[in-house]
Chain A
Amino acid sequence: MKLEKGKISSSQLMYLMTGFILGSTLLLSFVAPITKQNTWIAILFGGAAGLILVYITSTLAMKFPEKNLVLILETVYGRYVGKIISVLYILFFWMLITFNVKGISDFFVTLIMPETPDIVFIIIIVLLCGYAVSKGLEVIARTSLLLVSIFIIEVILIFILLYKNLDFTNLLPIFDISLSKLVQGVHTITAIPFGETVVFLFITGYVSKIEKARKASLSAVVIGIVIFIIISIRNVGVLGNSCCTIRYPSYQAARLIEVGNILERMELLLAISHIAIIFFKITIYYYATTIGVAQVLNLRSNLPLVYPIGIISVIISSIIFVFHLDSVEIGTNTFPIFSLPFVFFIPLVTLIIVNIKEKNKKKGNI
């Protein structure tokens, strides 16, 4: 039984992926203490590496139209090994749901409403994402256009409004950074926004014209790189040396907007677009997790799983770390290495195996 009957167009795939990549915007502040004013260089290199990763995953997806990740793994590795790897992937994505949920709830608790217990934010965002997942992939793709556009417009708008506060000399000296720190920064950026696009192996299979999928994915990565560079240049330019000590640099930068006496206190705009984009990221992970579990267990539909997975995610999110203090540690040290097999090795090996099988088939035919 096909789990997902919907079809999305390749431009919707591009928006989905862009929204997903941009959803890691709060995580840019992880890298700032390490790379300081050279964050944009790290983004550039990380984006280049991300292009390679996305190329691998989208090529893999293109070879298996209408199949999600679990089916691909089962086809390549056989039923049992495939299922084991799928379960690992599902746990990986589930963990990422909890990280991101905790991230957005922490954003709000720290900056806007500190006395509200974070479980309220967690429950509500999980409910919202669960609702979106229960409506199906097509509806998620339809909402992507507006939400992603809101985010991109907000980034550009705040950049323009902050133009007179920008001091480009804050970006100097370029490349004044030790190689090990640069590599660490690049690694983090490759892993977190771009590497996690491996989740799109669940979605790319449903593009109606699948040969356009690769181009759409790569354009999404390019847009992500550009926007991230704009964000990091804006933050470093406006905040100067404090960019490494401030926890949420975009928010503090937005607080500095003072155009005439009219446009002040614009950080609400930032909060709105952050919720929209992180909702997006969590929804895609949530979708992948429910479809993955449904596929592994051979269920007919993923709807009954939405609620239980949501409840478990809420519970886990509320008990994992105090976000920033531990998560910086995890985000820069542990996570890039931990995610390496999921993000890089397994897709690469799978692609190589598929290519070898095709070549063998061709040889066999001849």
Chain B
Amino acid sequence: MNFFSRKLAYYKLNKENSKVNDENKPKSLLERDIETNITKFKIKFNEMPDVTVRQFEIGNENKIQCAIIFLQGMVDKKIVNESILKPLLYDSFLKQESQKIMPKNINSIDWFIKNIISIDNVSKSKDFDKTVIKCLSGYTIMLIDSYDEAILLDTKGWEGRSVEEPKTESVVRGPREGFTESIYTNTQLLRRKIKNTNLKLENMTLGVQSNTEVSIAYIKGIANTDIVEELRKRLNRIKIDAILESEYVEEFIEDAPYSLFPTVAHSEKPDVIAAKLLEGRIAIFVDGTPFVMTVPMFFIENFQVSEDYYSRPYYTSFLRILRFISYLIALLGPCIYVALTSFHQELIPTPLLITMLGASEGTPFPTILETLGMMITFEILKEAGVRLPRAIGQAISIVGALVIGEAAVSAGFIAAQLVIVVAITAICSFVIPEQVDSITVLRLILIIISGILGGYGIIVSLIWMYIYLCSLRSFGMPYMSPIAPFNLKDMKDFFIRVPIWMMNNRPKLMTENQKKQGADLKPSLPEDKKNKE
């Protein structure tokens, strides 16, 4: 009981601490005196040598003290030098003799913004903390003596990756742009796909320590406003140290936190995100990662690749079905092998059985152990292939695996047919895009279950998984639609991909604004006028 009471006290203490952090701290504001402000900033930016404070004077008769504060690596030096310092110090009419003279009494700082500052994106703030965060985000803070507001100048510019083809989703035909780590570039890439005022963006900052920028994007009129509201609520509830990748956000907003199947989709390509937005989904951008999330997610999205829509429908329908079959083989291959050879040998055709008997003659381990061992070895090889430097990685992966398999067979560790089963399983597991992680765990569990109960175990597990999938919800939407609540109209993109002129409607559950395009768009030959006459 001591253990439990200690745990309880610790838990309560943690709760109080987190409460303290949540309470609103008194807002600190800027002062009128510039020196005080500069000192405030210097204290805040103590031990941060990359913060530069540049003081200067403007005005010809009454010299007004100004200062700009910026972070060295985060601002575009050219803009700071050319667009802030140069006009104010050098080209401004204030220093030279000209008609324009600075008026004597300037009431508010707006005069400066309207007349002097030559930066496009300007705002002002009295809040000290907000100013600090803006400075850390690449803004230049301009302080003017005797005004208690600071001018925030957008001078963002830092080294970042250029827009290039994403490594995880390469296509043969289709756009090759991928998102980058900067949220501004990403939203700009999205805007280029959907040039519509209905594409709304909402910004927020998450992460207590990291202050990462997060944006929600949706198309007003198509997306479901309830889901948008729910998403906002969930995002605002996140109180975490840092958001380093969209996965952090994903784990907070999921409907089913323990589920093996992802309920939030992600992608690296703007055309994919644009297509999903047009179906009524909502996208979440996270600064610092090129992976953009979309909610809600359906099970079928695991199998949809952007290239499906950029190639001929018959071919891509075939590929889609092939992906399904590969998924099943990848999941069920080893466990069916174990079940058939351990329990249901009567279901194996006789010639094959005799060959298998010969191959299994000298093997020491029961089939289930062999299979488990080989699958774990395969996972180890896969992981090693990812970690190794590229040159060696290639050599190890395929050739090494096969050689190891052959050697194991000759040494008498495993039966020869097991190598084939594992090889086919491995290849099939690479056919389905992305979501490979859930298969790995499920596969191992299934192998164990089939080793205990044979075919019965497999069937019961499959039904169990199916019930689980049907009960999953992604932001309130049933995960398995259009199969689970069956909707024939939405099946146009499930097993096969019908030609685009047939896809008239958006998914029913996603949005009420269903009609997507006009009817009767099937291409046909131009009417033969001669026949008509």
CA distance A160 to B355 in the complex (A): 31
Contact A275 B453 (CB under 8 A): no
Chain B interface SS verdict (over half): helix
Check if A272 is an interface residue, CB within 8 A of chain B.
yes
CA distance A116 to B342 in the complex (A): 14
- Kindly provide the distance from the CB of B260 to the nearest chain A CB, expressed in whole angstroms: 15
Check if A92 is an interface residue, CB within 8 A of chain B.
no
Q: Which of A124, A265, A271 contacts B455 (CB 8 A)?
A: A271
Interface of chain B residues 344 through 359 with chain A (CB within 8 A): 344, 346-349
Interface of chain A residues 1 through 51 with chain B (CB within 8 A): 9, 11-12
Q: Which of A108, A128, A264, A272 contacts B464 (CB 8 A)?
A: A128
Q: Which of B346, B455, B466 contacts A146 (CB 8 A)?
A: B466
Query: A9 with B456: in contact, given A143-B467, A265-B347, A268-B344 (CB under 8 Å)?
Result: no
Q: Count B interface residues, CB 8 Å.
A: 25
CA distance A271 to B340 in the complex (A): 14
Check if A113 is an interface residue, CB within 8 A of chain B.
yes
Query: A9 with B349: in contact, given A120-B453, A272-B459 (CB under 8 Å)?
Result: no
A143 proximity list for chain B (CB < 8 A): 463, 466-467, 470, 484
Q: Which of B349, B453, B483 contacts A124 (CB 8 A)?
A: B453
User: What is the chain B residue whose CB lies nearest that of A105?
Assistant: B456
Query: A145 with B471: in contact, given A112-B455, A271-B459 (CB under 8 Å)?
Result: no
User: What is the chain B residue whose CB lies nearest that of A264?
Assistant: B349
CA distance A228 to B470 in the complex (A): 28
Check if A142 is an interface residue, CB within 8 A of chain B.
yes
Q: Which of B459, B460, B485 contacts A12 (CB 8 A)?
A: B485
CA distance A132 to B466 in the complex (A): 10
- Kindly provide the distance from the CB of B298 to the nearest chain A CB, expressed in whole angstroms: 13
B455 proximity list for chain A (CB < 8 A): 112, 268, 271-272
Which residue, A128, A139, A145, has most C-beta atoms of chain B within 10 A? A139
Contact A131 B459 (CB under 8 A): no
Contact A276 B459 (CB under 8 A): yes
Quick one: CB contact mask for B450-475 with A, threshold 8 Å, 1 for yes?
00011111011001101100110000
User: What is the chain A residue whose CB lies nearest that of B456?
Assistant: A108
A276 proximity list for chain B (CB < 8 A): 459, 463
CA distance A267 to B348 in the complex (A): 12
B480 proximity list for chain A (CB < 8 A): 142
User: What is the chain B residue whose CB lies nearest that of A268?
Assistant: B347
Quick one: CB contact mask for A237-278 with B, threshold 8 Å, 1 for yes?
000000000000000000000000000110110011001100
CA distance A131 to B347 in the complex (A): 30
B456 proximity list for chain A (CB < 8 A): 108, 112-113, 121, 124, 271, 275
Which residue, B348, B456, B460, has most C-beta atoms of chain A within 10 A? B456
User: What is the chain B residue whose CB lies nearest that of A125?
Assistant: B460
CA distance A139 to B466 in the complex (A): 10
Q: A9-B485, A265-B346 are in contact. List 5 more A-B contacts (CB 8 A).
A: A113-B343, A124-B460, A142-B471, A143-B470, A267-B347
Pairs across A and B, CB under 8 Å, 8 listed: A112-B343, A124-B453, A128-B464, A131-B464, A143-B470, A268-B347, A271-B456, A275-B460
